[in-house]
């Protein structure tokens, strides 16, 4: 019997690459997207796909029920990948912007995880993978909403791993750095909706730094950037190895940042990150 994977955020980038890879590897992949048009596109490409908006509690409930019904009550792995960014300085983030980001990047992930745990526990095994980020353990200017969600995701994932340590359930973090994706383009909508940058006391930051990066086409090249399938390679080990690692780093900057935060003082690390 094919192993069953429930995957969120499969419309593009990391999720899209992973959905096709694990389908080719013989998994039964339920690749979920927020928009019906993306679901139809994935179905045309040969994937099983359904609508799942992790920010919507009812959508989470319906999706898990449908997957369990179609799979005969089985979910071998959950990969929580859905996320988005709302660029902006912390002082310019209204409550609504933070609420939206946290609903998708944090609260929805935990809600979905809670809903699959009973099935995993009943079948006697299961793997839960949270796609975090290098921004889950180091900060950069102008990314406060996204960073807050990823720092929190890492903390609650570590907690869950400890709480399930006596059960045959693995809880895993994957921490990518620069990966080719649509996240910058998709961040323009939330930015335009929520950030009144023209009224900001730090307007010059938006004019000279944030907006040029956000809107430049094509996006400025990053020599450290890797394609989305670099994350897929780590996912393969996380989901198929007999003993998966609790953490996987992806891209050179992630490895470097992990060492830097451990060996450098906060003051010195700040001097480096403020220039990034």
Taking alpha carbons only, the member of 137, 104, 225, 126 closest to residue 172 is 126
Supply the DSSP string of 102-169, one letter for each residue.
HIIIIIHHHHHHHHHHHHHHHHT-EEEEEE--GGGTS--TTBHHHHHHHHHHHHHHHHHHHHTTTTTE
Is 146 a known active-site residue? Answer: yes
State the Cα–Cα distance between residues 228 and 250, nearest whole angstrom: 10
Phi, psi torsion values for 35, nearest 5 degrees: -110, 140
Determine whether 158 is exposed, middle or buried from the number of CB atoms within 10 Å of its CB (0-12, 13-18, 19+).
Answer: middle
Given the residues 16, 146, 206, 248, the one annotated as active site:
146
Active site residues: 146
């Amino acid at each position: 019997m094919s192993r069953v994977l429930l995957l969120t955020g499969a419309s593009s980038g990391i999720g899209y690459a992973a959905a096709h890879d694990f389908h080719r590897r013989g998994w039964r992949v339920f690749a979920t997207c927020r928009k019906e048009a993306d679901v139809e596109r994935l179905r045309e490409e040969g994937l099983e796909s359904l609508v799942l908006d992790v920010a919507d509690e009812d959508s989470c409930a319906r999706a898990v029920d449908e997957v369990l019904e179609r799979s005969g009550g089985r979910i071998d792995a959950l990969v929580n990948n859905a996320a988005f960014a709302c660029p902006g300085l912390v002082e310019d983030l209204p409550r609504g912007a933070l609420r939206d980001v946290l609903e998708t990047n944090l609260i929805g992930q935990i809600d979905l995880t809670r809903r699959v745990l009973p099935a995993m526990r009943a079948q006697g095994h299961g793997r839960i993978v949270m796609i975090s980020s290098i921004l889950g353990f180091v900060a950069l200017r102008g990314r406060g909403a996204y960073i807050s969600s990823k720092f929190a995701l890492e903390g609650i994932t570590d907690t869950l791993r400890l709480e399930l340590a006596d059960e045959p359930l693995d809880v895993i973090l994957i921490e990518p750095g620069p990966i080719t994706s649509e996240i910058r383009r998709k961040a323009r909508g939330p930015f335009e909706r929520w950030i009144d940058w023209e009224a900001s006391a730090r307007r010059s930051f938006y004019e000279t730094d944030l907006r040029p990066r956000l809107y430049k086409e094509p996006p400025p090249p990053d020599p450290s950037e890797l394609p989305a399938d670099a994350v897929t390679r780590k996912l393969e080990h996380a989901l198929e190895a007999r003993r998966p690692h609790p953490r996987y780093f992806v891209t050179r900057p992630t490895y470097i940042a992990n060492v830097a935060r451990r060996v450098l003082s906060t003051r010195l690390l700040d001097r480096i990150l403020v220039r990034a």
